[in-house]
Amino acid sequence: MEKAILAAIKLPNQRNFENLLKEAENLCAAADINIVMTMVQSSRFIDPHTAFREGKLAELKTGVLAHDVSLVVFLNNLSIYATSKISEAVGVKVIDRTTLILDIFEKRAQSKEAKLQVELARLKYDLPKVLKTSKDTDRSRGGVTNRGVGEIRSSLIKKTMQKRIVDLQKAIKDIDQKRVLKSRKRQNSGLKKVALVGYTNAGKSSLMNALLEFNGSKDKSTEAKDMLFATVDSLSRKISYHNRAFILFDTVGFVSDLPHDLVAAFRSTLSAVLEADLLLMVIDYANPFYLEQKFITYEVLKDLNAEHIPVIEVYNKVDLTISKHEYPHMISAKTKEGLEELMNDIVNTLYPLEAVKDLYLPYTQSFLLDRFAYGLKIDILEKDENGYHLKIAGQKKIIDNFLSYLTKN
């Protein structure tokens, strides 16, 4: 693992600063970075040139030499100019928090879409900083000629990066359109969609695996790892329970202060959230800051315009705690505690029995039995030489969809 110093500016009235430091350490661990020293400076503002003030910067250089580290990670987001000046002063590479997150995403991304999303996010994050640094550097050189060269250089950088951003957005849009077509096919069958959301490392992948195992499936979502951003790609599995089924999506976890551009860039990867009929918000109940993490998750959902989607809060990892509050769903993906009650709640929320209909279905249209098998409760009362006498129950709109097929054919 690469050795590093974690550096941070503590600003006035900054809440949960210790939690942010701990989270930064976990992010570093997820990037195979070993933090050997933490250095904090309390300040009213972040120095735009070197972040730390002169004395603290000298102390940082001493720490770099004493601990023989090759990297400094700043908890705060910095300009490219600032990271460059700090690196020059201490003699090793310097990155900020968002760059660290992007590095982790880049390592974890497996699908083509996720890789495109990471590149897009990095370009969107770097573009304004690259332009500002280029202009500031050229101004500092002085002279009419230099300013002209600087403007040309900035223009070329901007043009190249913006073209790549447009190309990436188009490629991602093409992938997204294919997903929409698949989604429409699911909607026609009445098959519902459930998305796992929550703070990173809350146990979403573990819960998906536990629900699959609970229902007798040998399929797994992914290897569940105790680290931040273990899942970057959006994964989906079909789960059946008591003649009901739904598609369960595992999504990338959230963190505090995630830049809006980063959220926007991963909007397509998070489309499973926007298209879901129900969200399972997985909360790490064993984490002392679980309420803060729940608040952050709701804030990100708001940023995604997903706050209108029904939510079931799932308090995971109760096996790691002693005292327990009385939340509706206290579960353990590890021990399977509370999974049956959770499954019943999911199914009853997705497929409420709003209406019942008796009808006759000719054998020529028996394909409807398969198409709506997981969206409706279908009972065959009797059959004759031409077809079935059925009783169907479920949501009114799904029954209406079933009847529309029957009428058209």
Nearest CA-CA partner of 342 in 230, 220, 248: 248
For the ranges 121-135, 191-205, 234-248, the one whose mean pLDDT is highest? 191-205
Angstrom distance (rounded) from CA 23 to CA 297: 15
User: What residue type is 406 in one-letter code?
Assistant: L
Average pLDDT over the chain reads 84
| pLDDT bracket for residue 137 (50, 70, 90) | low
| pLDDT bracket for residue 33 (50, 70, 90) | very high
For the ranges 4-8, 176-180, 221-225, 238-242, the one whose mean pLDDT is highest? 4-8
Q: What angle do CA 247, 253, 257 make, to 5 degrees?
A: 145
Q: Where are the alpha helices (DSSP H) in 142-220?
A: 144-189, 204-214
Sign of CA dihedral 189, 346, 108, 131: positive
Angstrom distance (rounded) from CA 281 to CA 195: 8
Query: Phi/psi at 50 (nearest 5 deg)?
Result: -135, 10
Q: Which residue is listed with tokens 């569940």? A: 224
Residue 10, pLDDT > 60, answer yes
How much is the pLDDT for 128? Answer: 77
Confirm if 251 and 195 have CB atoms less than 8 A apart: yes
Which CA distances in Å does 200 have to 220, 228, 245, 254, 332? 19, 5, 26, 5, 17
| pLDDT bracket for residue 377 (50, 70, 90) | confident
Determine the average pLDDT of the residues in 134-149: 51
For the ranges 24-38, 117-131, 235-249, 250-264, the lowest mean pLDDT is seen at 250-264
Determine the average pLDDT of the residues in 2-29: 90
Angstrom distance (rounded) from CA 241 to CA 215: 7
| pLDDT bracket for residue 190 (50, 70, 90) | low
Sign of CA dihedral 76, 80, 86, 91: positive
How much is the pLDDT for 71? Answer: 97
Question: Could you give the count of Cα atoms lying within 13 Å of 120 in the half-sphere of its Cβ?
Answer: 25
CA 214 to chain centroid, in Å, comes to 25
Mapped onto helix, strand or coil, the DSSP state of residue 259 is coil
| pLDDT bracket for residue 125 (50, 70, 90) | confident
Determine the average pLDDT of the residues in 357-374: 90
| pLDDT bracket for residue 143 (50, 70, 90) | very low
How much is the pLDDT for 396? Answer: 86
Confirm if 283 and 253 have CB atoms less than 8 A apart: no
Q: Which residue is listed with tokens 């026609």? A: 188
How much is the pLDDT for 138? Answer: 52
Residue 77, pLDDT > 80, answer yes
How much is the pLDDT for 150? Answer: 56
Cβ neighbours, 10 Å, residue 367? 10
Angstrom distance (rounded) from CA 12 to CA 43: 7
How much is the pLDDT for 262? Answer: 66
Higher local confidence (pLDDT), 79 or 258: 79
pLDDT over 70 percentage in the chain: 84
How much is the pLDDT for 409? Answer: 60
pLDDT over 90 percentage in the chain: 42
Cβ neighbours, 10 Å, residue 66? 11
Determine the average pLDDT of the residues in 82-90: 94
| pLDDT bracket for residue 268 (50, 70, 90) | low
How much is the pLDDT for 375? Answer: 77
Confirm if 101 and 27 have CB atoms less than 8 A apart: yes
For the ranges 198-202, 224-228, 284-288, 310-314, the lowest mean pLDDT is seen at 224-228
Nearest CA-CA partner of 83 in 69, 62, 97: 97
Which CA distances in Å does 254 have to 23, 197, 322? 12, 8, 26
Confirm if 239 and 217 have CB atoms less than 8 A apart: yes
Which bin fits 223, alpha (ψ -120 to 50), beta or left (φ > 0)? beta
Nearest CA-CA partner of 47 in 101, 11, 95, 90: 11
